[in-house]
């Protein structure tokens, strides 16, 4: 039996509206600046698994991946990019992680693992070599538990009014070489 995905690739206007409503809630809650939605961004909605037939479809989280363009992105990301010469050998395989969130009401309930599947799907579909970006500090620590040394903090957290963002570098190729971790993510072991 095929396992049902609990996420969707944003393709329709309705899905984009759900993405925006969920992400913008986090921006208001944590007083984050809501940067523009990248026209070339690939977005995913995390969907609450249905417990019964009549349960309404509910978006509980978001993730966006943007092909990295050192000219267009903000200064902190450009600095992270410049520090790594290995990016220049294959710049089309560097992606920025953005707009990553899981609604507070659904945290610590096992839904975090859906992000692992999204990362895996996107990385394989786009031959990603590195992800870079800023992650909320608690979220970074959770991902670090799963991926270990493949996910690195690249500087001190940027302190905000209600949350801190950690500059990160995720070596996707290194993570995909670890068959045991890949199986654990794919089969949620």
How far apart are the C-alpha atoms of 26 and 20, rounded to whole Å? 10
Whether 13 is covered by a domain: the verdict is yes
pLDDT at 151 over 60: yes
* 171 occurs within a structural domain: yes
Determine, yes or no, domain membership for 159. Answer: yes
Does 69 reside within a domain? yes
Would the pLDDT of 26 be above 90?
A: no
Does 1 reside within a domain?
no
Give the pLDDT score at 133.
85
pTM: 0.84
Q: In the chain, how many domains are there?
A: 1
Asked if the structure places residue 2 within a domain, the reply is no
Instruction: Give a yes or no: residue 107 inside a domain.
Output: yes
Q: Which residue has the higher pLDDT, 14 or 1?
A: 14
CATH number at residue 24: 3.40.630.30
Residue 16: its pLDDT value, please? 97
Residues 47-93 have pLDDT tens digits of 988 777 777 888 999 999 999 876 665 555 556 556 665 666 677 88
Range of the domain at 106: 7-187
Long-range CB contacts (< 8 A, 24+ apart) of 108-113?
111/6, 111/46, 111/48, 111/60, 111/61, 112/142, 113/185, 113/188
């Amino acid at each position: 039996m095929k396992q049902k995905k609990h996420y969707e690739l944003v393709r329709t206007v309705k899905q984009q509206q759900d993405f925006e409503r969920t992400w913008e809630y986090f921006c208001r809650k944590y007083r984050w600046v809501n940067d523009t939605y990248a026209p070339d961004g690939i977005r995913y909605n995390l969907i609450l698994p249905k417990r019964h037939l009549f349960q309404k479809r509910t978006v509980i989280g978001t993730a966006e991946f943007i092909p990295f363009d050192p000219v267009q992105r903000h200064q902190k990301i450009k600095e992270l990019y410049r520090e790594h010469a290995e990016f220049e050998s294959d710049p089309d395989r560097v992606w920025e992680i953005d707009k990553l969130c899981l609604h507070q009401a659904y945290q610590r309930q096992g839904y975090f693992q859906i992000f692992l599947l999204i990362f895996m799907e996107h990385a394989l579909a786009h031959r990603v070599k590195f992800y870079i970006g800023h992650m909320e500090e608690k979220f970074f620590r959770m991902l670090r538990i799963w991926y270990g040394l493949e996910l690195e903090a690249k500087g001190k957290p940027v302190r905000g009014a209600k949350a801190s963002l950690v500059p990160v570098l995720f070596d996707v190729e290194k993570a995909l070489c670890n068959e045991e971790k890949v199986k654990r993510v794919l089969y949620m072991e």
